[in-house]
Amino acid sequence: MKTIGKSVIATETVTELRALFEDGLEAQTFLNDLIKIYLETGRESVQSLSRTLDAGDLPAVGRHAHKLKGLSRNIGAQRVGDLCADLEVEVMDQGSNARDLYEALVSEFQQACDELNQTYLRVS
Amino acid sequence: MTAVGRPKSYCISLDDDPMIYRIIQEIIKLPTLPYTSGKKLLERASSYQPLVAFVDIHLGEDESGLGCLPELRQLWPHTPIIVMTTDGESSLIGESLSLGANDFVRKPLQAAEVRARVQARIFELQKRQDADCSRFADVVLDASRRSLEGPLGKRFLSESEWTLLSCLLATNGIVVGKQDLKGKVWGDVKVSDNAVDRKLSTVRSALKVVSKKVRLTTSYGQGVRVEEKAS
């Protein structure tokens, strides 16, 4: 379920990434690059999660969740990262809740992508 | 990047996360070469001497960053290797340190923490390198790598060759007899005169390759010594 009006990207993470540069334009270019990587690679990871869940390959689900967790935390998509962490743990057990976690993750990921596109990505 | 085009100081990152090397590069302001495969990095690692390296514990499907650590440590004895980890991997931190990592940082990377750890480890390993290195005339000797480096080039020695050269250097140019050398280098192990001569020949050749000034000379009937030739 979408949470309307609530930010899903941690602004402090974005601020820290921007703070690596003195020049605002360089900072935005850098941020744009990371966002584009997240949008592309994150989407690939979500697709891989779906595929491996359908196949019942729990170790592979864990690996893809781990990867998406790292990507998400880099860019401030904390809730996506947390759901990935939960999914990693879930598939190390029997994985009975894996599908529900995946569905929640997909929703959060989409919200994160929307916010990154609308609020943080600046294409000149 | 080829050795010709390589910057003087650079970092290497081993992580399948395509964002990480970019973030590291901007945190420490060093060109950072990205690797996503431990296998590929190990194939080329001997051609690198990075100022610092970051290794992720979890790589792709069949790889672990931990598996690369022993070999990287051997190839890069003076390079701080910093392991990157996420929550829940604390048990692997101890293992990574025992395998040769120097420090760890948690993801997501915090700029201040990364910089502080990199600076501290570089300083520490630089001190260790200074202790491992000595100089004789224009030849720098690195005990950790068993290497000689001079104006003309660089050579590596085997363990026994290194010990043999170290014994000769320790005598400050005084001639050392062959029997003495046998005892110092091989202890109680019986070695033939031919074997000793072969090792001396290798050391002699290595010195010739790296320097015009340093020579291993033989005094007939007495022994050998290392001396600095007058220019």
% of chain B exceeding 90 in pLDDT: 52
Name which of A19, A33, A74 is nearest B108 (Cβ-Cβ).
A74
pLDDT at B2: 40
- The answer to whether the CB of A9 falls within 8 A of the CB of A77 is yes
pLDDT at B174: 82
Q: What is the mean pLDDT of residues B176-180?
A: 88
Rounded to the nearest angstrom, the minimum Cα separation between B127 and chain A is 29
Interchain pair B19, A67: CB under 8 A: no
Task: Indicate the range of A111-120, B50-59, B104-113, B217-226 predicted with least confidence.
Answer: B217-226
pLDDT at B22: 97
Which chain B residues contact residue A69 at CB under 8 A? 86
Q: Band of the pLDDT at B216, cuts 50, 70, 90? A: very high
Helix A78-92 and helix A98-115, axial crossing angle in degrees, nearest 10: 160
Interchain pair A16, B111: CB under 8 A: yes
Rounded to the nearest angstrom, the minimum Cα separation between B126 and chain A is 26
Distance CA A64, CA A88 (A): 9
pLDDT at B231: 60
Q: Band of the pLDDT at B1, cuts 50, 70, 90? A: very low
Which chain A residues contact residue B27 at CB under 8 A? 20
Distance CA B112, CA A91 (A): 34
**Conformation bin of residue B146: beta by default, left when phi > 0, alpha when psi is -120 to 50:** left
Whether residue B143 has pLDDT greater than 90: no
pLDDT at A95: 79
* Burial (CB count within 10 angstroms: exposed 0-12, middle 13-18, buried 19+), residue B164: buried
Average confidence score pLDDT of chain A: 92
pLDDT at B184: 86
Whether residue B224 has pLDDT greater than 60: yes
Name which of A20, A33, A73 is nearest B111 (Cβ-Cβ).
A20
Interchain contact A63–B (C-beta under 8 A): yes
The 8-class DSSP code of residue A118 comes to I
Q: What is the mean pLDDT of residues A40-69?
A: 95
Q: Band of the pLDDT at A1, cuts 50, 70, 90? A: very low
User: Which H or E run includes B216?
Assistant: strand B214-219
Whether residue A41 has pLDDT greater than 90: yes
Most confident of B12-16, B84-88, B142-146: B12-16
Whether residue A123 has pLDDT greater than 80: no
pLDDT at B201: 94
Interchain pair B111, A19: CB under 8 A: yes
Which chain B residues contact residue A68 at CB under 8 A? none
Average confidence score pLDDT of chain B: 88
- The answer to whether the CB of A30 falls within 8 A of the CB of A16 is no
| Structure tokens that stand for A57 in this block | 């390959």
Rounded to the nearest angstrom, the minimum Cα separation between B91 and chain A is 16
Q: What is the mean pLDDT of residues B172-197?
A: 88
Under 8 Å CB-to-CB from A112, ≥6 apart: which residues? A8, A9, A42, A72, A75, A77, A79, A80
Q: What is the mean pLDDT of residues A48-74?
A: 94
Distance CA A84, CA A62 (A): 8
Per residue in B194-214, pLDDT tens?
999 999 999 999 999 999 999
Q: Band of the pLDDT at A3, cuts 50, 70, 90? A: very low
Name which of A60, A70, A75 is nearest B86 (Cβ-Cβ).
A70
B156 forms bridges with which residues in the sheet? B147
Among positive and negative, which fits the CA dihedral B174, B175, B180, B182? positive
Per residue in B104-119, pLDDT tens?
999 899 999 999 999 9
